[in-house]
Amino acid sequence: MIVNPLRDPRDRRLPRVPDPCALVVFGITGDLARKKLLPAVYDLANRGLLPTNFALLGFARRDWGDTDFAELARDAARKAARTPWREEVWERLAGSVRFVQGSFDDDNAFDELAGALADLESSHGIGGNAAFYLSIPPSMFPVVLKQMERTGMAESTRDRWRRVVVEKPFGHDLTSSRELNELVDSVFSAEDVFRIDHYLGKETVQNLMALRFANTLFEPIWNGHHVDSVQITMAEDVGIGGRAGFYEKTGAARDVLQNHLLQLLALTAMEEPVEFSAEEIRTEKLKVLRAVSLPDDLRAAAIRGQYEQGWLAGQRADGYRQEEGVDPASKTETYAAVRLGVETRRWAGVPFYLRTGKRLPRRVTEIALVFKRAPHLPFADTDTEELGNNQLVVRVQPDEGVTLKFGSKVPGSVMEVRDVSMDFLYGEQFTEASPEAYERLLLDVLLGDATLFPRNAEVEASWAVIDPLEEFWASTTPYPYRAGEWGPRAADEMLAAEGRRWRRP
Ligand SMILES: NC(=O)c1ccc[n+]([C@@H]2O[C@H](COP(=O)([O-])OP(=O)(O)OC[C@H]3O[C@@H](n4cnc5c(N)ncnc54)[C@H](OP(=O)(O)O)[C@@H]3O)[C@@H](O)[C@H]2O)c1
């Protein structure tokens, strides 16, 4: 065997622990920080994955001291931590927690933050390294970035790294995402920018790459010769949960299609990367996103919907327009489905159906490869009505796993063929529970591993797909569907017109 001298000789199975560093969270009192970020920090500490020299700094407007903040952080972590609660772990962490109060337009507050970071360098030995998490309203990104630039906080040097984490949405359309990218890239260097699409932190999404590139079984049939169509679904049973202000301006396509679904499409359709590295994986994903095509007739292949009052799990659910804070004449979509093409040799002619929606019958995210039917069935006198297309389904959540659906003989004296399923369930095969997506991604930020973070060109290529859809939809009214149904009838008709139907996961 020839050994590649460029390969890192370290044992990859050993957990990697980041350099001494600080994590600065702007918007620490917000929903995301409380529900996801603080619990993730605790879980990482509990798993021994944070460096000994670590500090957590929170920034928000509330008139708090370090003790108030430590209390909030403890409550939030305790409530949503994935791993068992150990008081001694929290006690250790609490000794390195700081709060800086101020508004984003307040120069003094940022000077104070820069000072606090400098103090921590000597008092906690963080070595000047810091990651800044923008867990704040997107409209605030420019002012915070400018402040970081002004105070010199954003500067990486030979002796220290400085990184920034940007939450979605990355802009509102192609133009605004370009502006945002330009701004971020003018303050931080490209390799120090981490754009979070938390779907990529999910274990099953990463398993998609293992499934494809670590096996010989699937790759030979992973193409338009064998695949009839691909369905990518992200369904939620919940409504907008008090986030009307955000959702009214956003809608399902900008909220989910532009990021999560197109990233899943890219991972499903991409070619094998030269190696499993950030650069190579992002390069392959980008090629797919640039190859995505929209149907010529959007009326027939781009459907959006809005839920009306209905029933879900035996409970009455309000319609979208009745939700608090929603315009009673709102045209914002809560459901979007579209047929896309991927113009490559591997996928030419294969439709990729993407759909997402709120108040659908159940919460499920999955990628389904629907295979072509056998060209000939030699069962002249056999009942094959129950025989569908073979399917390979990667379930991202819940019940993470993979299902293979194929035809099998029904036991008995007659020849009857019917679909059966073969299931792999993560929870059954592995004893180790999967880390939460934010846990994995926060650790990657601190390690400087950008593999699971889309780069700016990917974000822009995705907006280039969404912009024409939004433009077309701007002059239409979403089709209604009842809460608890699988979206509007028009979405079913879209597939039926092409001789297909949506999976009912
Ligand atoms: N929540 C989620 O589940 C979720 C999911 C995906 C992405 N995101 C993204 O994550 C980001 C944060 O979302 P969120 O839901 O946590 O928002 P949020 O609950 O509204 O929190 C916003 C935070 O920013 C602070 N803030 C706002 N204006 C400020 C100002 N002028 N000066 C200083 N602090 C200010 C607020 O603190 P004070 O009011 O105390 O000052 C609060 O801590 C957004 O970009 C969102 O799109 C959120």
Pocket test for ligand 1, best of 36, 135, 146, 247 (most atoms within 8 A of CB): 135
Fill in the amino acid letter for 456: N
Reported pTM: 0.92
Residues of the chain by 3-state class (helix, strand, coil), percent to 5: 40, 20, 40
Query: Is the CB of 68 inside a 6 Å radius of any atom of ligand 1?
Result: no
Q: Please choose from 24, 25, 28, 32 the residue to mutate so as to test ligand 1's pocket, defined by most ligand atoms within 8 A of CB.
A: 32
For ligand 1, whether the C-beta of 31 sits within 6 Å is yes
* Residue given tokens 């979007």 in the structure block: 336
Task: List, in order of start, the domains of the chain with CATH numbers.
Answer: 21-167 (3.40.50.720), 201-496 (3.30.360.10)
Does the active-site annotation cover 260?
yes
At residue 54, φ and ψ (nearest 5 deg) are -140, 145
Cα–ligand 1 centroid distance for 181 (angstroms): 20
Retrieve residue 338's tokens. 């579209």
**pLDDT tens track of the chain, all 505 residues?**
444 444 454 555 667 899 999 999 999 999 999 999 999 999 999 999 999 999 999 999 988 888 888 888 899 999 999 999 999 999 999 888 999 999 999 999 999 999 999 998 888 888 899 999 999 988 899 999 999 999 999 999 999 999 999 998 889 999 999 999 999 999 999 999 999 999 898 888 888 999 999 999 999 999 999 999 999 999 999 999 888 999 999 999 999 999 999 999 999 999 999 998 889 999 999 999 999 999 999 999 999 999 999 999 889 999 999 999 999 999 999 999 999 999 999 999 999 999 999 999 999 999 999 999 988 888 766 666 667 899 999 999 888 899 999 999 889 888 888 899 999 998 888 888 888 899 999 999 999 999 999 999 999 999 999 999 999 999 999 999 999 999 999 999 999 999 999 998 8
pLDDT of residue 13: 60
Residue 3's pLDDT is 43
pLDDT at position 444 is 94
List all residues 6 or more positions away from 91 whose beta carbon is below 8 Å from its beta carbon.
Answer: none
Name the DSSP class of 349: T
DSSP state of 416: B
- Please report the DSSP string for 65-132 in residue order: -HHHHHHHHHHHHHHH-SSPP-HHHHHHHHTTEEEEE--TT-HHHHHHHHHHHHHHHHHS--TT-EEE
What was the pLDDT predicted at 239? Answer: 94
Give Cβ neighbours of residue 82 (< 8 Å, ≥ 6 apart): 39, 43, 433, 435, 436, 439
The pLDDT value given to residue 382: 67
Rounded distance from Cα 329 to ligand 1 centre (Å): 27
Q: Give the type of residue at 271.
A: E
Contact 20, 126 (CB under 8 A): yes
Pocket test for ligand 1, best of 26, 59, 61 (most atoms within 8 A of CB): 61
Q: 124, 226, 260, 376: which is the annotated catalytic residue?
A: 260
pLDDT of the residue at 380: 66
Q: What is the phi-psi region of residue 35: left when phi exceeds 0, alpha when psi lies from -120 to 50, beta otherwise?
A: alpha
Residue 491 and residue 356 in contact, taking contact as beta carbons nearer than 8 Å? no
Q: How far is the CA of 28 from the centre of ligand 1 (A)?
A: 8
Give dist(CA 336, CA 253) in Å, integer.
6
Between the CA of 33 and the centroid of ligand 1 the distance, in Å, is: 8
Counting from 1 in the atom list of ligand 1, the atom nearest the Cα of 246 is: 47
Kindly give the distance from the C-alpha atom of residue 144 to the centroid of ligand 1, in angstroms, as a whole number: 13
CB of 235 closer than 6 angstroms to any ligand 1 atom: no
Q: Name the burial class of residue 315, with classes exposed (0-12), middle (13-18) and buried (19+) by CB atoms within 10 angstroms of its CB.
A: exposed
